[in-house]
Structure 1
Amino acid sequence: MEHEILLDIQHVSKSFGLTRALKDVSFQVRKGEVRGIIGENGSGKSTVSNIIAGVYSKDEGKILLAGKELNTTTVVEAEANGIALIVQEIGTIGDISVASNIFLGNEKRFGSKGIISYRKMNREAEKALELIGIQTIYPEEKADSYNLEERKIIEIAKAFYTHPQLLIVDETANALSSHGRSILYTVIEEVKKYGGTVLFITHDLEELVKICDSVTILRDGVYIDTCHGEDMVINELKVKMVGREMSDHYYRSDSEGSRGEQAVMSLQNIFTSVLKNISLELHEGEILGIGGLSDCRMHELGRLMFGLDQPYSGKIALNGKAQKLQNPVKAIKCGIGYVSKNRDTEAVILQDSVKNNVCLCSLDKISRMGFAALSKENAFADKWIDKLKVKVNSRGEYVASLSGGNKQKVVLAKWLGRGSGILILDCPTRGIDIGVKEAIYHLMEELKAQGTAILLISEELPELIGMSDRVLIMKDGQIVCETMRGPEVTESLLIKEMI
C-alpha cells in the first residue's frame, strides 16, 4: 500500500479572470502519506485543494483518485468520493445547529417520509464529536454560539466522521490553540493509520516538518518540487517557496528596546467581565507585545482598546487626557487602528472591492461636503496598493479573490491611509507566508521609527520576543509579568509566566 498512488494531479490549470492561479501543475501522492503543500500567498495552494474538493472546477488537466478520473463539481460529490476538506477560514454556517453543520448535504439519512428526525441527527453528531474527544460542544446549539476555534473543531469532527480516504487540511491550524492543534494532529495520525491520505497546507514550516512525510512546493501557480523526509530542510524550502535566499533574521536586529517619552494611550485599573485590573501604558514609537495562552484574554484586551468592548470600571486616557471609547467610530476618530485576528469576518469586507476597503476609514479625509470624488478615491487607493505592494489585477477586484497575505496588506493599507497613530495588531502574521511576514515586520520597524505606537498581540513567542520593546504576559485576564527587550528574554522564561 505504501507505494500505491491515491491522488494523481496531471497538468491541471486554472484561471480567475486574468489571474492564472495554476499553470500545468502535476504531482502524485501515495496512500497513507501526509503531504504538505507550501508556497507564498497566491502560489495556488488553496486553489488546487479546492479543485480536488469540488469547490472550483479546473480549466485544463486531469485528476485521478485511486486510479479513477475525478470530475467533482460540488463538495457533496467530493464527499461521496471519500474527500473531506477543512477550509482555511470559517466553514460552518452560524445560523444552523452544530448537528446540521456536521451533516449538511446528508440530511436525508435521518429522514423518513420527508420528515427529518433531528433527535437522531443530534445523537449521531454527538458521536462524531466524541470520536475526536469533544464533549463540550452540543449538537443542538447554533454554530455561532461558539468561538472561532470551537467552530473549526466542529469542521474537524465533520471531516473525520466521514472516514475520508483523502483529508485536505487548508491552514486550519492557524485558528487553533495548542489543545485544538493536538486534536487536529491526532486526527491526521488516525487517518494515516487506516491508510488514508492527508494534504496539509500550512505556512508554518516547523509544523510542516514535524507533521508531514513529504512536501510539494508551488510558486506563482507553478509546480516547483517535491521533497521527502530528510530532504525537508527549512531554509532550502524557503528558497524554493520564494525563489530567492531568505534571511534567517526576520526580526529586529537591535538588542535593547526604545520608546518615546509620551504615553499615547494608558489604561488604569480596567475591569470587564473577563479582564481584571488591567493597567498599562503604550508609548509613541513603541512596540508593546502582549502574550499568553490562547484563553488568557489578550484578544479581548485588543477589542477593548478599540472600543468594541466596554469596561465597567477603570480609566482610559489618550495623550494624558481621559477618553471614553464608546465604539470603534470614536476610536478611529481618536487615531486608533485595529487589525483583527479574524481577518475575513472582522477586518475586511470580502464582497467589496480592494479600493472600497482601502478607502473605507478615510472617506472623511478624501471627501468634500460629504461627497468623495471618484478620482480622489482611485488615487488614494492606488497610492496605498502600491505602497503595500498588494497583488491585484485592479483596484476594483473583490477582496474575496485575494490570498491571505494580500488581504492582510489591504487591512494595513486601510489603517495606514487613515494615518492611525496607534495600531492594535492582533496576530497580524497569522496564516500568511514568510515573504509577507517579513514585509510586515519591516513595516512595523518603519512605523516605530516614525513614532507610531503599536500594540502587538501574538500567540507566537518568537514574534513577540523578536519585535517588541516590552512584553506583557497575561493569564486569566490579568497582566502577570512585564519584561524589557534584551538577550536574556527567552521563550522558556515567558512560558513559565504563562502557565
Structure 2
Amino acid sequence: MEQELIIEVKNMTKNFGITKALRGVDVKFYRGQIRGLIGENGSGKSTITSILAGMQKATSGEAFYKGQPWDPDSMVEAQKAGISMVLQEANTIPNCTVAENIFAGRFDEFSKFGIVNMKKLNAAAQKMLDDFNITHIKAADSINKYGFEDRKLIEIVRCVSEDTEVFVVDETTTALSHEGRKLIYDLIHKLKDNGKSVIFISHDMEEILEQCTDLTVLRDGEIIGHLNREEMDMPNAEQVIRYMMVGREIGDAYYREDYDISHGDKVALELKNVTLGEIKDFSLQVHEGEIIGFGGLSGCGMHEIGRLAFGLEKPESGEVLREGKKIHNCNDAISAGIGYISKNRDTEALILEGSIQDNITLPSEKDLAKKLFIKPSDEKNLSDKEIDSFRIKCNDGNQWVNTLSGGNKQKVSFAKWTAKGSDVIIMDCPTRGVDIGVKQFMYALIAEMKKQGKAIILISEEMAELIGMADKIVVMKDFAISKEFTRSKDLSETDIIEYMI
C-alpha cells in the first residue's frame, strides 16, 4: 500500500550571512515512516527540521503540510498543528515547575477568568508523565531540581500528545541513558505504527540502521541520496553511508591503536578524600600524560566527579589539589591550568550569544592583559590560530557561536582550553552530538594531548569511547568506584557493564 505524504519540502534554501546552510533541498516525509537524517555537522539536517518546526524561517523555497502551504511563525504554532520537535540541547524554562514546562503556551486550557488552576495543571502533567512511565519526576516540582537527562524526558512528554502528527527527534538520544533511549525508541515505533511520521536525526550509525525505516543523507546543505530499508540492510551499508556523508573514504580506526599506558610520575591533579552528597571519601590521582576514563549508568556520580575536579562544586570535606595547591573554585582551576568541557554545552561550556573569538579567548584574558589592557590584535591572533587548528567552519571569529553546528560548537569548547594552554583537561561527554569526522579529529587530538603530557579525565556514556581512548577506566556505581580496568586489547564492553548494573 502506498504511503500517504504528510510533508513536502521544495527547493528550500537557508542562508546565515554568506554561509549557505541549505542549497535547494527537496525532500518528502510520509506517514508510517521513521526517516533518518544523517550527515556531518553543518550538513543541514537540523536546519530543515527547525524550519518545519517553526524555529526559524527559510530564505527561499516552500514547504507543504497535509497538502497545504506550511510556514509556521513559532514552535507553539507548529506543535498545535501537530509538528513537535525535541532538541539536542536543553530546551526547558528554568525557575518554573515541571507542569508549567509541559504545558508552556497552553495555559488557556487550565484557565478561567485569566487565573490558572494549578491543581488541574499539575494533575494533567503528572498523568502524562505516568503514561510515559516516568514516575520519578513530579509535576509540581521545580524544573531546577532535575538534571539534564530528566529535562530531556520532560521535553519529550511536552512534545508528544494525541495530536502529534510529525515528531522530530534531533540528536536527543545522546543525552539519555539506556532506559531513556529505550523509552524514545518504543515511542517512535508506536507513533510509526499509528500512522504518524517520525524524523530522526542522529550521528550514531548503529542507532540509525536499527531504528529507521528510511534514510536521507545530507552533505554541505544538499541532499546526497536516500536509502530504503532494503538498502540499509546491505552488508556494506555503513561504508556506503559514510562515503555519502563526507565524500571520501573513512577508515574504522577512530580510537588509539596503541596500548601504551605509561605516563609521567608527577601527579597533575588529585582528589583527596572528597565528600559531596552521596559521594563519600572519594580519592583519585591523575598523572601527567595519563587518560583516566569514567563510565557508569545515569546517576552513578561520574559527572559530579568532573564538576568537583574543576571547582564547580565545593566538597563538604576533602580537597582537590593541583600540584599540591588547593582548588577552591573554577577560577582557581583555570588559573592553575585546568580546563573543563561540560556535557551541557549550550548552557555551561559556551556563551551562545557571543562571538567565536570571545568564547575562545575568555579563559586567556588575564594572560593577554598587558598593563590592564588587552590588544584586540592579540585576541584576534589567538582566536584565529585556534579556528585554523580546529578547522572550525565559520566566516570569521566575529561570527556568533549560536549560528554554528553542534560539531563546530564543540570544537570551540575544546579550543578555549588549548588556547589557554591548559595542562589538565576534564572532558564530560566530549563527543556527544558530533559526527564521525569530528569524532575522528577529537580522538586524534586527545591522543596527541597524552603525548604532550596533558592529564585528561574522560567522562563518557559510550563504552567504545572509553575502551578506545583511556589508559585506565574507572567504573562508577551508586556514587562509588565499583571496578577499575587497565587498557587492554582484550577488554570488552561486557566486562565493564557487569560492574555498572
TM-score computed with the length of structure 2 as normaliser: 0.97
Where does residue 252 of structure 2 map in the other structure? 248
The separation in 1 between residues aligned to 2:231 and 2:357, in whole angstroms, is 43
Higher deviation after alignment, 309-318 or 169-178: 309-318
**Corresponding residue for residue 480 of structure 1:** 482
User: Which residue pairs with 1:170 in the alignment?
Assistant: 170
How far off its partner does 1:16 sit? 1.3
- Matched letter for residue 63 of structure 1: A
Contact 1:160 1:187 in 2 (8 A): no
- State how far apart, in whole Å, the 1-side matches of 2:95 and 2:284 are: 38
Q: Report percent identity of matched pairs.
A: 43
Letter in 2 for 1:201: I
Aligned residue number for residue 75 of structure 1: 75
The structural deviation recorded for 1:316 is 3.5
The Cα of 1:347 is off from its aligned counterpart by 0.4
Task: Give how far 1:458 is off.
Answer: 0.6
Give distance in 2, aligned partners of 1:110 and 1:312.
43
Q: Which residue of 2 aligns with 1:238?
A: 242
1:293 aligned to 287, 290, 297, which one? 297
- Cross-structure match for 2:16: 16
Q: State the partner residue of 1:259.
A: 263
Contact in 1 for aligned 2:321/2:327 (Cα 8 Å): no
Between 1:34-43 and 1:186-195, the stretch displaced more is: 186-195
Tell me, yes or no, if the aligned pair for 1:2 and 1:31 is still in contact at 8 Å. Answer: no
Deviation per CA, 1:135-182: give whole Å up to 9, x if none: 222222222221111111111111122531100111111111111112
Question: Do the aligned residues in 1 keep the contact of 2:341 with 2:413 (CA within 8 Å)?
Answer: yes
2:348: which partner in 1?
346
Deviation at 1:468, TM superposition (A): 0.9
Instruction: Give CA deviations for 1:31-56 in whole Å, capped at 9, x if unaligned.
Output: 11001111111111111001101111
Cα distance change, pair 111–271 in 1 and its aligned pair in 2 (3 A): closer
Contact 2:3 2:32 in 1 (8 A): no
Letter of the 1:435 counterpart: G
Structure 2 CA distance for aligned equivalents of residues 149 and 19 of structure 1: 32
Q: Distance in 1 between matches of 2:498 and 2:110?
A: 50
* Residues in 2 aligned to 1:80 and 1:300: alpha-carbon distance in whole angstroms: 38
Q: Which runs of 5+ in 1 are unaligned?
A: none
What is the CA-CA distance between 1:215 and the residue it aligns to?
Answer: 0.9
Q: TM-score, normalised by structure 1?
A: 0.97
CA displacement at 1:314 relative to structure 2: 2.9
Instruction: Answer whether contact 1:359 1:380 (CA < 8 A) is retained.
Output: yes
What amino acid maps onto 2:89 in structure 1? E
Task: Report Cα offsets for 1:273-319 as digits up to 9, x if no partner.
Answer: 12223222211111111111121101100111101112233344333
Name which of 404, 407, 429 aligns with 2:409: 407
The code of the aligned residue for 1:267 comes to L
**1:124-139 alignment to 2 at 5 Å?**
124-139=124-139
Q: Structure 2 CA distance, aligned partners of 1:294 and 1:124?
A: 27
Change (3 A) 1:248 1:348: same
Q: AA paired with 1:250?
A: Y
What amino acid is aligned across from residue 475 of structure 1 in structure 2? K
2:439 paired with 1:437: yes
Q: What 5-or-longer segments of structure 2 have no aligned partner? A: none
How many angstroms does 1:255 deviate by?
A: 2.8
Q: Indicate the SS of the match to 2:279.
A: coil
446, 465, 468: which one aligns with 2:467: 465
Aligned residue among 306, 316, 320 for 1:302: 306
Please state how far the C-alpha of 1:483 moved relative to its aligned partner: 1.4
Q: Tell me the alpha carbon deviations over residues 121-144 of structure 1, each in whole angstroms, 9 at most, x when there is no partner.
A: 222112221221122222222222
Say which is worse superposed, 335-344 or 176-185, in terms of deviation.
176-185
2:289 and 2:114 map into 1 onto residues whose CA distance is 65
Q: How far apart in 2 are the matches of 1:272 and 1:74?
A: 42
Q: In the TM superposition, what are the counterparts of 1:70-149 in structure 2 within 5 Å?
A: 70-149=70-149
2:160 partner SS: helix
Partner of 1:374: 376
Once residues 144 and 351 of structure 1 are traced to their aligned partners in structure 2, the CA distance between those partners, rounded to angstroms, is 22
CA distance in structure 1 between the aligned counterparts of 2:30 and 2:76, rounded to whole angstroms: 24
Matched residues in 2 for 1:394 and 1:287: separation? 33
- Whole-angstrom distance in 2 between the partners of 1:314 and 1:75: 47
1:145 and 1:2 map into 2 onto residues whose CA distance is 47
In structure 2, the residue matched to 1:3 is: 3
- Rounded to whole Å, the distance in 2 between the matches of 1:89 and 1:478 is 28
User: Is the Cα–Cα contact under 8 Å of residues 214 and 226 in structure 2 kept in the other structure?
Assistant: yes
Task: Decide whether the 8 Å contact of 1:2 with 1:30 is kept in 2.
Answer: no
For 2:500, the equivalent position in structure 1 comes to 498
Deviation per CA, 1:44-72: give whole Å up to 9, x if none: 11110011011111122221222222121
Equivalences, count: 497
Q: Partners of 1:361 and 1:305 in 2: how far apart? A: 17
**1:377-429 CA distances to partner (integer Å, 9 max, x unpaired)?**
11111111111111111211111111111111111111011110111111100
Question: Larger deviation: 260-269 or 400-409?
Answer: 260-269
Aligned to 1:269: 273
Assess if the C-alpha contact under 8 Å between 2:357 and 2:383 holds in 1.
yes
1:146 partner letter: Y
Instruction: Name the counterpart of 1:425.
Output: 427
One-letter amino acid matched to 2:242: K
- The question of whether the paired residues in 2 share the 8 Å contact of 1:270 and 1:277 is answered with yes
Letter in 1 for 2:446: M
The two structures, once aligned, show a CA RMSD in angstroms of: 1.4
Residues 79 and 159, structure 2, Cα contact 8 Å, conserved in 1:
no
Residue 318 of structure 1 corresponds to which residue in structure 2?
322
- Indicate if the aligned counterparts of 1:43 and 1:222 stay in contact, CA closer than 8 A: yes
Q: Shift of residue 114 of structure 1?
A: 2.6
The code of the aligned residue for 2:252 comes to D
Task: For 1:150 and 1:447, locate their aligned partners in 2 and report how far apart those are by CA, in whole Å.
Answer: 33
Distance across 2 between alignment mates of 1:482 and 1:135: 33
Aligned match of 2:46: 46
Cα distance between partner residues in 2 of 1:25 and 1:495:
43
Give, in whole Å, the separation in 2 of the partners of 1:267 and 1:72: 51
What is the DSSP-based 3-state SS (H/G/I as helix, E as strand, rest coil) of the residue aligned with 2:21? strand
- CA–CA distance in 2 between the matches of 1:41 and 1:22? 13
Partner of 1:362: 364
Q: The residue matched to 2:73 in structure 1 has which SS?
A: coil
Deviations 1:450-489 (A, max 9, x none): 1111111111010000011111111111112121111121
CA contact (8 A) 1:297 1:476 kept: yes
Alignment of 1:175-186 (within 5 A): 175-186=175-186
Q: Say whether the 8 Å CA contact 2:22–2:221 is kept in structure 1.
A: yes
